[in-house]
Structure 1
Amino acid sequence: MSNHPLFNDYSIPLSVTLAATIGLEDAVLLTIINQAAILQPDSHHQGIRLARDTVRQQLPFWDDVTIRRTLASLVDKGLIRLHGPMYPESVELVLSFEHSQSAAAAPARPLGGASAVPMAQGIPAAHAHHSIGQDWQPSADTLTRLQQHGIPASFIWAQRDVFLLQGQEQGANRNDWNTRFFRFVKKQWVYAQNDAERQRLQQEGQLNRSGFSVASDEAAPIGHQWRPSEDALQILQRSGIEQQFIDDAVAEFILYWRERGDALKTWNSKFIQHIRQQWARYSAAVEHSTVPLPIPSDWQPSSDCYDILSMAHIDPQFARERVAEFVLYWRDSRQVHNSWNSRFLQYIKQQWARQLSQPTPSTTSGGKNGQATAEPDYTTVEASLRRLNDTSW
């Protein structure tokens, strides 16, 4: 039986048991590292070496962020040992398989069923595991990398004592204290920035009583006191939506989403979409009401009426001069209709046809020799009458 046509390139021999034990992503990356170890006979002396570009080629379905996260997970689980910078900060990764302290007496087999790879005695002493001492200092390279992320030196050094305390309490022996310090400081910096932003929003009154920000980066249910942001209001107002209409819709919007119980981080975007839809329905209902209504005393035909009349070769000024008598007639009759624009079009077309059908002096008087002459634009008038009587449109 032939393979599926999609299986036409490199495949990863993944262990089902391994994936169920440590997770699918970790199992995939560990398999790639294990295959590299098998292909490198000297890996037990010099460590397993993987070029950054090779890793990307073998894992094209992951980005660098995912690869880095998965690699850190394997290191944290004690399944591999990292010798050197973290991916992708170096052009080459240097790794070895993690072993227990009894590895010298009984070498452990790597997960995945591969043959045993004895722990190297030749790995540089600089990479040996050791506990963190009270006088430990981050390397100059680590400090430079942190400052490149916009973290002040004063903040970096302020985190050192906390990091030392955590390392000593855990009692861990590691060789990547600088890498761990780098991640620790970055995480603390993010926390500090979030706290500063939250405090700023509270001072500016942009946090509601439920504690949710109108510009929160985390999904949260809508609060009782939620209000659209200034940016959202400006966007709606620039769309020609009345402020009163927006204000009236806030309570209904909050009630609907509180009953649904959804948690979102884009309440302002959702509100803009809701208001635009409701305004479109409201405008259409006003423009094309299905409820018959009496004609208002200040009624005026829409601009579309004049456009239609112009296409029928009816002078718009002729229509404007008859708006007052049209309104007066229908107000006196006290009748109701659901489309006064349509009634007005019908009325003007009748009046225009009546005017065109009346005889003019040019059609009844004689010419130079006393003979009747036709009006020069008779053909145009006749065509106009045909257009006016044509109701197929």
Structure 2
Amino acid sequence: MKSSLIPEKPILVYPSLAATVGLDEAVMLSCLSDMVTNTPSKFANGFYWHSVRVDQLHKALPFWDLRDLQRVSTSLREKGVIFIASGPLLQEASFKFAFNEKQTSTTRHMPSHTEITPQEQAHIARQTNSTFSGKNFISANWKPDQVTLEQLGQLNIPSDFAFRQVPEFIAYWRERNEAHRSWGQKFISHTIQRWRNFEEQENRKNKATAMFSNWQPSQSCVDSMLQRGIARQFIFDQIQEFISFWQATGERHIAWESKFIQRVQSEWASQEARRNVSNQGFPIFNSWRPSEDAMEVMTVKSEIPLSFIEDSIAEFIIYWQEKGTESNTWNSLFIKHIRLQWHRYQHALDNSVDPQPISDNWLPSQDVFDILKLANIDQAFAKSLVPEFILYWKDRNEIHRSWNTRFLHHAKRTWAKQHQFVDPQNNQNTLRSTREISLEEELNDTSWAD
């Protein structure tokens, strides 16, 4: 019983023929042989010339488009299997060809054959006597041959690198729908260009440097931004955040000044856009808190502990109230403030893995004072807390890995409590005074425990 999965006549492919001329070529050759069986032909120069309509050939081989039909037929001609007496399939209605089997007109019985005109005779003679290798379209499964790979190897281009370029190479030329005589040479040029780009990128990586903590833009860099109308103070205000951001990423680059210019221009444009949208800002109020979206950006995306953020709200409010600034982007300012402080805080952590007791002459590191400075906490105030801090922890006789961390937390909380403010909604102090909170309560905060 005939299966419904085989609704049409199959194409017969001979394995030995496919191994000799290629699978695609064997498929087309078998199809052409079936199509011209019992059809009229013309005899000339010792060959029987056949003609099939291009649309019929495409219908017989529906899994190929016209480009593939042109490619495979040209391959059969280049391999000497057939002769072609018509133009490209994309431009002709009929495909005229002859099998490369030299014979006389009486060698074998044909259903019918007719004499050809002198013009056709001359064209056929050129086809059979010519050694010209025509252009061809690239196959969807094209691969570079061994000769191509050896030529690339002489240029010190690895084979695995060459093979990685094949999919892009095929997609590019099939999209362009162009035919060429030698795809191997085209591939060599393509791969050489990609290899040079690859080497250039590697060289740039080797010359790149990491961002360092005391990086500063050159005067010419600053001048170029001043010429664009960017305020000098605005430029220098961006330096510390720029350094902190790139140190956190750990990336290396060649042109840091170019990146700095891009960042400053972007920030300046954003600031100008905000000013154009609305010049009506408002002062920060005592009970201000960052929005839920801002908290999500800091805690989820930046992975900053909630306790660190909460401890920084009071100092942020105090600072901007003292400056008397009005703004409609307090959330953005707070996010920048927290990110910068968190980065500096992480760099200030002690590297020691062994807990140690506090020493009699212990002093906070310079990084601690830098972080406090970012929070606008006076250095003299911080230093005044050191004796009491040492005395308390010596009395407790405890050991910890990071005394810098504990002191930083203690100083920030003490500063915020001494600069207490009143909540206008309930007319009560939102923070208790230093006298109301013991030193033990201030310092014994488990959220900062190691």
> TM-score band (shorter)?
0.3 to 0.5
Q: Indicate the structure with greater strand content.
A: 2
TM-score relative to the length of structure 2: 0.34
With the length of structure 1 as denominator, give the TM-score of the two structures: 0.38
